[in-house]
Structure 1
Amino acid sequence: MGKILFINGSPNENGCVSTAMDEVIEVLNNDGIDTEKMWLIENGEKNDLSAPAHEIKTFTNFI
């Protein structure tokens, strides 16, 4: 199986979304599934993918 990528789009890198992801990641890793987590905001600056949904022409929610 490949790697599962978790993308945190929250402006808070270590907030509630990240904590929830960490719980799921721990379970998956314990089952031998490789995961990676990334944050969409680098150095405190938003990039195109972290804009509010109404500002993105094509927006998809995914986990």
Structure 2
Amino acid sequence: MAREIMLGSLGEERKHFSMELEFLLRAKPKWREIAQGILFTDGDIVSHGVEAESAAG
């Protein structure tokens, strides 16, 4: 029972994180621009982050 409660709670936290991230990406255009260079890309996340941040306007 406790395991099911914890797993359900974790699912809620993922949902809340996703909603908060989407809110920030909509409100902060520069964040969205940087995130687009990082999210859902293959390869090194850190390298993509550095490149996306330096390319952001």
TM-score, normalised by the number of residues in structure 1: 0.29
More strand per residue: 1
More helix per residue: 2
TM-score, normalised by the number of residues in structure 2: 0.32
Radius of gyration: which is bigger?
2
